[in-house]
Amino acid sequence: MRVLGIDPGLTRCGVGVVEGVAGRPLTMIGVGVVRTSPDAGLGDRLVAVERGIEQWLDEHSPGFVAVERVFAQHNVRTVMGTAQASAVAMLCAARRGIPVALHTPSEVKAAVTGSGRADKDQVGAMVTRLLRLDAPPKPADAADALALAICHIWRAPAQNRLQQAVAAHRTSGASRTPGASRIPGAPGISRTPGAAGAPRTPDAPSTPGTPRTLKGRTA
């Protein structure tokens, strides 16, 4: 499995490619940052981000793209730029038919370090150790992109099993006939609503051998 992790941002958009499968050593294929100038217009910056991501997709041909899920922050300007860069990343992947997964920062930290509250230094140190690098990738955006790719490789098998189970449950539920309850022990036979417990015939004897009485006389 080859995954392109993207830590979205307008000024610095971290990108990192990791290859491997869960439970085995992982390999870093490439890491870097797509940069744009703060002095450029918003449209030009988004185009620069798109071109940078397209180059990484062309060069490394990942099978999956993992993008950090954007959360609201106090700095509205920052979160808007991050969200816009995230949308560009998803657009680039979707245009090529590459599956896109979103992972929250806490999910990534927990997957890589074991703690959802780990700081950037801890994430960088664990990425260095897991990928057997000589030093933590710089800047932190690059290390975060690698952490996203690692998180997806490790979480994808469990997510796939969950999605398959949900799809199977929906399929089995749709195949049942609404309103018809099955009679226990009788496969393929449905009970008609309201017919449960068929009434006895009024003049049928309730006990075998008991004489039937008609108008006070014994029959």
Catalytic residues: 7, 68, 141
Torsion of CA 162, 106, 64, 8, to 10 degrees: 150
Report residue 14 as tokens.
Answer: 């971290």
What Rg do the C-alpha atoms of the chain give, in angstroms?
31
Q: Which residues, other chains included, contact 29 with Cβ-Cβ below 8 Å and sequence gap of 6+?
A: 2, 17, 18, 19, 60
Q: How far is CA 207 from the centre of its chain?
A: 65
209: left (phi over 0), alpha (psi -120 to 50) or beta: left
Cα–Cα distance for residue pair 82/79, rounded to 1 Å: 5
Cα–Cα distance for residue pair 12/35, rounded to 1 Å: 5
